[in-house]
Structure 1
Amino acid sequence: MGRARPSMQDLIQQRRRHGFVGRGAERAAFRQNLDLPPEDERHRFLFHVHGNAGVGKTFLVRELEQVARARGALTAYVDDGIGSLPEAMAAISARFARQGHRFKDLDRLLATHRERSHEAESAAAAAAQTSELQPSPPSAASLTAARASLVGLGLVPGVGAFAGAVDPAQLAHGADRLRDGIGARLRSRQDAQLVLSPERVLTPVLLDELAGVATEAPWLVLIFDTYERTAPLLDGWLHDVMTSDRHGALPANVVVVTAGQRPLDTARWGGLADFVADVPLAPFTAAETRGLLADKGVVAEPVVEEVLRLTGGLPVLVSTLAESRPGAPDDIGDPSATAVERFLKWEQDPVRRAAALACALPRRLDADVFRAAVDCPETEADALFGWLRGLPFVTERGHRIQYHDVVRAPMLRLQRLRSPHGWAGRHTRLAETFGRWRTEAEAGLDGAEVWADGGGRDLRLAESYHRLCANPRTALPLVLRDFVDACDGVDGVVFAERWARVLAEAGEDTDTELVRTWGRDLLAALADGGVAAALGLLLNRTGFEERWQARARVARGRALRHAGAYAPALAEFDRALALDPELARAYRGRGFSHGGLGDHEAGLADLDRADALEPDHAPTVSVRGEYHRILGHYDTALEDLDRGIALDPSHHFAWASRGAVRQLLGQPDEALADLDRALELKPEYPWALIRRARVWRTRGEYGRQLADLDEAVRLYPDGIWGLCERGDALRAAGRPAQALADYDRALALDDGYASAYASRGACRGALGRPEDALADLDRALALRPDYPWALRQRAELHLERESHDRALADLDRARALRPDEVPILVCRVQALLGLGRFEEARTDLDRALELSSDTERARLAPLGERIAAENTAERRS
């Protein structure tokens, strides 16, 4: 006999498969699974494909079916054409029969089931007709029994061939009559069970049939498509068949494939992750979309870009547009209506369809936003919102829901193109609603507090988005001003990105190139150079009035200052003050920038002006106190810091700075209390930890000193000051090797840090490496010639080498810088002794004794005795 010619359907499917593009990873995973024996722990018995409508689930499972057949598998495909479990079994049997394997026993029993079900249907209808004569409502028990009967018959309303044929409430009126009618019509108890519980009778037979053919093929593949529709009928049964022996044994070489919009029910399948392959489908990537278009001969870049924009990579839309083979962007029709129809194909209720479209307008929804978006009676709102939350393309995050982007985009485009005026009106109403909520949330807050309030910011963002959608050109300048304010905060980059994203999304959703370009360019600038770059772009392109330009300059200066670019920041603050000479924030920012450059005198002048324009601003006062501390104006510093703490007791910086002042004034207990408070307010505060370590050192509590320094280095491993302070503490504790590691690390981070060279020089001297020590100290003094401590350390090395002249030269320079520093005076005494200049040595020692405490005087007494002895010896000689 000649080979049978393929059917039309076969030829169409072959042609479609030849054009299949993408999903290579999914196909490869399925193919590899068929290469593994069922006993292999890597083998998966169930593949669940899921994703939004139009994402290509059916196309993929059809392709997986062909992959299976290429491996010699027998396959069965079941979709939403079935309305009951017996119909699903019949579909499986028919598919196997087409491949030469008839399930005769199952087919015979299914025929009997159909006959008995028809007879039972007649009985049910008669019972329902009789029940209409009963005036009393049905009891709960009879209603439950009636519903159970309908399930068994496949008569559940909305499901199966008899959908809606019988009202379960009516049937419940005559539940007893129903049972009597079925008993009278059906021939045996087995017939009754076949009708009322068909899965119990049919499933064992199906499993026997599958076992019979399982030896004749390497694999049996059962595919259940549109599972979001059939799962209520099949999911529990399938779970039982695969995981229990209630109905018999399922051959191990069966692979099940399910495909639906939702993931599998985790309550049912969650414990079987080792046996299930989860296959989420996303839209095509740009590369996959281009591949599909190229396969259809669509390669012109403007056309490809437009298809990418209109479809979002949704395979069904890409395929639809590719089939028309457009030659220019104008040849491309908008596929929005097709997409929306596909997303809502199962929903016929016009109220629900309208609600689904209306709720695509907000970017995110909760129950309140739902009520603002949907025009429905209050009594129906909760039920309608509950329905919306259950849609496959809706995801829930916290207390809010949002549409999948690939679904939302065509819904928005459809509404905008179908009714531009309606689109603008609905967005205006939403903007007004969010604006009213924002006003309520911001009541009683000042400007800084408004932008610090997360809820208020979210409302302002939503309001901005809807105003842009309603009227892009009039809303754009207002939103760009908000962008300036968003940049001007501690988390400026985060807030600015959200505002730029709103511009980009609104531009895309309204197809407004100006708004889209602003959003895209601001996002790119933020990614490339942060807030400073974005504000620079804004200032170069816009013609803001002078007041807003000044605000933008201040915000940009602030961003530059935080990035350590103090000189450019100063230039921005200068420009801001040229536009608005009374802008306190510009003086404050300029004062902070002067401080960053080490010009604390200029910084004080600006902070004084800022304080005069905006009195009682806590950071202004506190930072001014810190500048006074740095300049040695300790009393003035305390005045400002006391005032700063009174204005804002939660400002950790002010407490830490006042602690540092008190430590310098020789008030360790008060300093410790202030620094403890700073660290209570901000536990991870390296600066305060290092300052407190210095207090511990003055109190002789070296263990606590090292503990604080260890924590400071842990919090800020690249902090050069912390590394050097810990190195000094380790050196003082007699651990020079560990100290040396900290100094090396500090200099690896900054090879121009004079203090690290000086400390490493002292450490290398202690380790008996005088040449290396001198090299480090020379480098420190080359970087910082007026460095008294380094001069004294180098002098001590010269003394060890008996280079008294060199030592004295360094000490003279050091004493000129610090005339009353006792260690310098003592070291100079030793140099003068080495040179035989006893009278000068006596003078320096007397001065050192005058400046010293009783304890220090006792320690210096031997030096006085040495001067006297050497002086006497010199005279005798």
Structure 2
Amino acid sequence: MARARQSMQELIARRRRAGFVGRAAERAAFRENLELSPEDERHRFLFHVHGNAGVGKTFLVRELEQLARERGALTAYVDESAGSVPEALAAIGGRLARQGHRCRELERQLAAYRERRHEAEAAALALDPEAAPHPSAGALAAARAGLVGLGMVPGVGPFAGALDADRLAEGADRLRAGLSARLRTQEDVNLVLSPERVLTPTLLGELAAAAGAVPWIVLLFDTYERTGRFLDGWLHEIMTTDRHGTLPANVVLVTAGQLPLAPARWGGFADFVAEVPLGPFTEAEARGLLADRGVRDEPVVAEVLRLTGGLPVLVSTLAEARPADPDDVGDPSATAVERFLKWEPDPVRRSVALACALPRTLDADVCRAVAECPEDEFDGLYAWLRGLPFVSERGDRMRYHDLVRAPMLRLQRRQSPRGWAERHRRLAQTFARWRTEAEAALEPGEFWKEERWRELRLAESYHRLCADPRTALPGVLADVVAACDHGDEVLWRWVRLLVEAGEDAGATGARNPEGWGSALTEDFAADAAAGVAALLLDRARAEEPWRATAYAVRGDALARGGDHEGAREAYERALALDPSLVRAVRGEALARSSLGDHGAALEGLCRALELEPDSAYNLFLVGEQLRMLGRYAEALAELDRAVGLDPAQPPAWASRGAARLARGELDEAQTDLDRALDLDPDYAWALARRGRLWRARGDRTRQLVDLDRALALHPDWAWGRCERGDVLRRAGRDEEALVDYDRALALDPDYAGAYASRGASRANLGRLPEALADLDRALLLNPVYVWALERRAAVHRRLGAEDLATADETHAARLSAPSPPPPRHHPSSVN
């Protein structure tokens, strides 16, 4: 039988590999690792290749993949074309299938995921009757709010900023209800909302099935500076925990990106990871590549080495031109850009190549806007540009390699500063016009949630900074403040914008974008939005209009981190600048509530309601605060209004159910709590409150079922742990109760209720000294805790300390508060 002819791709890959030069030590280390058994302590399970752009990471990763295949390994390669964990799993499954190991169950689940996600997106549009067949801007906005609120928009967390909290909550809650109605089962809902939890065990099972048939399975993840944002935590989890199953020992992972692995996540696993830092080629490696391309003339070689600094992408680019005449490299003042363009004689092409380096990314429209060429020549020039070796395509966009683009920018900026500024100014105007056109289809409050709008705004801001850094910087800093409300991914892009524009514009002085960007990068790495807001405020001039919002952003971040006192101070400073900033009024009130000052919190929330009288979210917060104060009739009045304004708001139903439960209205309370859970089956606070209702009805079995569900959703919820411990204690299962109390106190060491309850269980088990210590601690934290006083009196009496027991009983009788303090968490904190 005639041998099958090789494909074009196979022939290209073989030729490129035959020309692979350098990285001998890195290849040898990987090869040797495959000679070691997984049980050998020298074996490494993860190779992380890292280095600056242009050092040849992708070439090396592809070489490592080929080395693995030569040893019989099954391999899968993933790059930035995957934008999420499910897409990465699909890429892995496809690669394995092409090698004869089809992952049928994974394929089935991925198909189901794509179908269910499509149904979820359809459900989002179906929330508005205007959505079909041609959805209105309002319908699209509601749909996006729901998708963002459920975390289904990449890079945007479920809470995308207090400025729009009620809109996000409304959209997410309505979409949850729509999903529950549209999708067939809770498993389908889980597949849409948490695909990693469903798909990862299946992938691990497929790998385990394949692992017995091959010596190694090698999974390679390239462009990790992009994919690592969603893959790094997932890879760490499947390697170091058995949460989703086990990973076969003969799996080796390879990651490649610009940065080393994060020490906070990977620092404790150094014995299992091989760091592979890549720098420029050594002189010997660069000379070897040049010789392989036929460039051996010493003056030419010396000039290439000088101009490129050994960076592989530039060495390769210049080598491909094969300069042979020493006169070609005789000018000692030539730059890398001049050397690269020296071999392109067409002045129009040279001009287009330089001009198209100005935008950070390119498509045909951008290229047409920046290239000064006749329209009838544009298509040919654009096709030529796309074919240049330093231009890469990612989706529908192109970008220059950084190591080629940077010297091109420097050349243009130095040769003609006025021309540089004017070109960037024209580009900024072009992107501003496109942004304005995009805004016509959006509600004003939806701009920041729209990816296309953000892309245009970033491009416009970049070119304004390049044209005139001092004038543009204040407006861009205001955008940085706004970006803090839209997730770390969005904020990071604005921080990087300042760094890149500052470097490219060569700006200096106090208003230097690069100086701001570098400082913000450090603070972002340390504390994300909180760090960025703190630096902005530290450096802000008194007249900056965004200072009040920045203080509110910092308050939000501190509150999320549990620093409620710091949050209160930040909100107060925001209100000193802008007393009508609703997010600060509301945030300051909630911070006071978390600090136990419920009266002041109620006053602040009423002020927020005055400023936004039609906000169902504000009505709910006022009602909830009244409930926490024991003013149940007033609370019900506000919560009735909240439910009337927005019947799809689960927290309002749950809070009203809790208020009715406190009044002994068990049937009405159950109706409200059931309604909250119909709207949001994963609402842990409502589950815990319904558990209390089952306790009032004497149904301990149902109470435990609801508490178990709540804790399955939020295993680190201290209040829920203590609540379940109390159920177990009342059932006489004190040993089991102690497990929950211990966990609650590990999560919250100042939880008075958990100390008191643990003391009661220890007393039931006869461990009286330990019980007494717990009750003492509870009363130290809350001296007016009547129930703890009564329990301690009983322990004193059992220990024979009658006088101490009497003192506790007398003190308890004098106190008016008959129950422990309010729970540490209110419905809005667990959705």
State whether TM-score is above 0.5. Answer: yes
Following the alignment from structure 1 to structure 2, what is the Cα–Cα distance between the partners of residues 495 and 560?
19
Matched, 1:661 2:656: no
Aligned-residue offset at 1:528: 1.9
Amino acid at match of 1:779: R
Matched, 1:494 2:489: yes
Aligned-residue offset at 1:521: 0.7
Gaps of 5+ in 2: 1-19, 37-50, 61-249, 261-275, 288-303, 319-331, 820-831
- Say if 2:498 and 2:517, in contact at 8 Å, map to a contact too: yes
Match of 1:732 in 2: 730
Matched, 1:538 2:539: no
Pairs within 5 Å for 1:528-607: 528-545=526-543, 547-607=545-605
Aligned-residue offset at 1:732: 2.9
Match of 1:747 in 2: 745
- Say if 1:55 and 1:282, in contact at 8 Å, map to a contact too: no
Aligned-residue offset at 1:679: 4.3
Match of 1:472 in 2: 469
Aligned-residue offset at 1:628: 0.8
Amino acid at match of 2:780: A
**Secondary structure of the equivalent of 1:564?**
coil
Matched, 1:459 2:452: no
Aligned-residue offset at 1:281: 12
- Residues 496-553 of structure 1: CA deviation (Å, up to 9, x unaligned): 2221110101111222241111111111112123323322322232325264322322
Aligned-residue offset at 1:630: 0.7
- Say if 2:55 and 2:279, in contact at 8 Å, map to a contact too: no
Aligned-residue offset at 1:582: 3.7
Following the alignment from structure 2 to structure 1, what is the Cα–Cα distance between the partners of residues 469 and 458?
15
- Say if 1:283 and 1:312, in contact at 8 Å, map to a contact too: no
Change (3 A) 1:376 1:34: same
Which of the residues 776, 779, 783 maps onto 1:785? 783
Amino acid at match of 2:529: V
**Secondary structure of the equivalent of 1:743?**
helix
- Residues 784-831 of structure 1: CA deviation (Å, up to 9, x unaligned): 22112223333444566787775554444434435889xxxxxxxxxx
**Secondary structure of the equivalent of 1:717?**
coil
Following the alignment from structure 2 to structure 1, what is the Cα–Cα distance between the partners of residues 494 and 255?
35
**Secondary structure of the equivalent of 1:721?**
helix
Following the alignment from structure 1 to structure 2, what is the Cα–Cα distance between the partners of residues 308 and 609?
68
Pairs within 5 Å for 1:736-775: 736-775=734-773
- Say if 1:428 and 1:466, in contact at 8 Å, map to a contact too: yes
Which of the residues 351, 360, 365 maps onto 1:363? 360
Amino acid at match of 2:359: P
Matched, 1:442 2:443: no
- Say if 1:431 and 1:464, in contact at 8 Å, map to a contact too: yes
- Say if 1:547 and 1:579, in contact at 8 Å, map to a contact too: no
- Say if 1:336 and 1:413, in contact at 8 Å, map to a contact too: no
Matched, 1:337 2:333: no
Pairs within 5 Å for 1:386-401: 392-401=389-398
Aligned-residue offset at 1:764: 1.8
**Secondary structure of the equivalent of 2:399?**
strand
Matched, 1:620 2:621: no
Aligned-residue offset at 1:691: 1.9
Identity of aligned residues (%): 57
- Say if 1:21 and 1:288, in contact at 8 Å, map to a contact too: no
Matched, 1:510 2:511: no
Following the alignment from structure 1 to structure 2, what is the Cα–Cα distance between the partners of residues 474 and 629?
51
Following the alignment from structure 2 to structure 1, what is the Cα–Cα distance between the partners of residues 632 and 473?
51
Change (3 A) 1:712 1:364: farther
Amino acid at match of 1:772: E
Amino acid at match of 2:507: T
Amino acid at match of 2:337: S
- Say if 1:52 and 1:393, in contact at 8 Å, map to a contact too: no
- Count of residues in correspondence between the two structures: 548
- Say if 1:764 and 1:772, in contact at 8 Å, map to a contact too: yes
Which of the residues 421, 426, 435 maps onto 2:423? 426
Aligned-residue offset at 1:361: 3.0
**Secondary structure of the equivalent of 1:616?**
coil
Following the alignment from structure 1 to structure 2, what is the Cα–Cα distance between the partners of residues 418 and 819?
79
Following the alignment from structure 1 to structure 2, what is the Cα–Cα distance between the partners of residues 380 and 320?
26
Amino acid at match of 2:23: R
Q: Which has the bigger relative contact order, CA under 8 A and spacing at least 6?
A: 2
Aligned-residue offset at 1:320: 13
Following the alignment from structure 2 to structure 1, what is the Cα–Cα distance between the partners of residues 563 and 750?
18
Following the alignment from structure 1 to structure 2, what is the Cα–Cα distance between the partners of residues 516 and 799?
70
Amino acid at match of 1:693: G
Aligned-residue offset at 1:478: 0.9
**Secondary structure of the equivalent of 1:402?**
strand
Aligned-residue offset at 1:446: 6.0
Aligned-residue offset at 1:312: 8.5
Following the alignment from structure 2 to structure 1, what is the Cα–Cα distance between the partners of residues 316 and 380?
37
- Say if 2:314 and 2:404, in contact at 8 Å, map to a contact too: no
**Secondary structure of the equivalent of 1:512?**
coil
Pairs within 5 Å for 1:149-548: 288-289=279-280, 314-315=311-312, 334-339=335-340, 356-374=353-371, 392-443=389-440, 448-487=445-484, 489=485, 491=487, 493-513=488-508, 514-545=512-543, 547-548=545-546
Aligned Cα root-mean-square deviation (Å): 4.7
Change (3 A) 1:310 1:685: farther
Match of 1:25 in 2: 25
Change (3 A) 1:686 1:455: farther
Following the alignment from structure 1 to structure 2, what is the Cα–Cα distance between the partners of residues 599 and 283?
46
Match of 1:127 in 2: none
Amino acid at match of 1:500: V
Pairs within 5 Å for 1:818-857: none
Aligned-residue offset at 1:427: 2.7
Amino acid at match of 1:745: R
Rg comparison, structure with higher value: 1
Following the alignment from structure 1 to structure 2, what is the Cα–Cα distance between the partners of residues 287 and 397?
23
- Residues 601-643 of structure 1: CA deviation (Å, up to 9, x unaligned): 1112222223223332343332222111110111222222233
Match of 1:269 in 2: none
**Secondary structure of the equivalent of 2:357?**
coil
Change (3 A) 1:669 1:433: farther
- Say if 1:312 and 1:406, in contact at 8 Å, map to a contact too: no
Change (3 A) 1:790 1:374: same
**Quick check: 774-783 or 593-602, which moved more?**
774-783
Match of 2:84 in 1: none
Aligned-residue offset at 1:380: 7.4
- Residues 673-711 of structure 1: CA deviation (Å, up to 9, x unaligned): 444444455554432332232223333443332233223
Change (3 A) 1:735 1:286: closer
**Secondary structure of the equivalent of 2:534?**
helix
Aligned-residue offset at 1:589: 2.4
Pairs within 5 Å for 1:93-108: none
Following the alignment from structure 1 to structure 2, what is the Cα–Cα distance between the partners of residues 309 and 762?
78
